[in-house]
A = this chain, B = another copy of it.
């Protein structure tokens, strides 16, 4: 069971419904239109009854749609160098920074939605963001166990410090991650954080 298949595998008809509803949701979001049940029914061809049967609320549906096209958890090699594993999972293909199926426009829209709706924010946090963090936190814990990283680290707090650098670029500065100045600043900041983590 992964966020891409919240109802488990083996239900191809339902996944087809998911796909149509998510596509309709994202097309509304990308067009800056409000997501309503009526519009979803109209655009997806899925019945209102099926929508309500499948998702307990529009909030839940939107959170699922926003995450649907993102790649799954990055594969992280726990045998290699811890720093490379963590930084690779952030900067590498399929990593946090990669725009794989998740454009800046959609990121900005997601932030607008969650800032307007704390229930959606909590739903999105619990169902997606916190799960997406898990494999990287696992690498950090492996680093602690090996003695590469300090044994008094609060791994969740460390991850907040790492990923907070990115959020700040997008949310406060309004800078693009592919801007060379942004890349340089992010790398400098992550060097500082990492230095504070090593044993």
Residues on B with C-beta less than 8 A from A174 are 114, 118, 121-122, 125
Residues on B with C-beta less than 8 A from A108 are 115-116
Q: How far is the CA of A44 from the CA of B194 in the complex (A)?
A: 51
Q: Please state if B161 and A161 are interface contacts (CB–CB under 8 Å).
A: yes
Q: Please state if B158 and A164 are interface contacts (CB–CB under 8 Å).
A: no
How many positions in chain A have a CB within 8 Å of any CB in the partner chain? 43
CB-CB contacts below 8 Å: A97-131 with B = 108-109, 111-112, 114-116, 118, 121-122, 125, 129
Residues on B with C-beta less than 8 A from A121 are 174
Q: Please state if B157 and A192 are interface contacts (CB–CB under 8 Å).
A: yes
Q: Please state if A157 and B171 are interface contacts (CB–CB under 8 Å).
A: no
Q: How far is the CA of A165 from the CA of B172 in the complex (A)?
A: 12
How many whole Å from A41's CB to the nearest CB in chain B?
A: 26
Beta-carbon nearest neighbor of A197 in chain B: B192
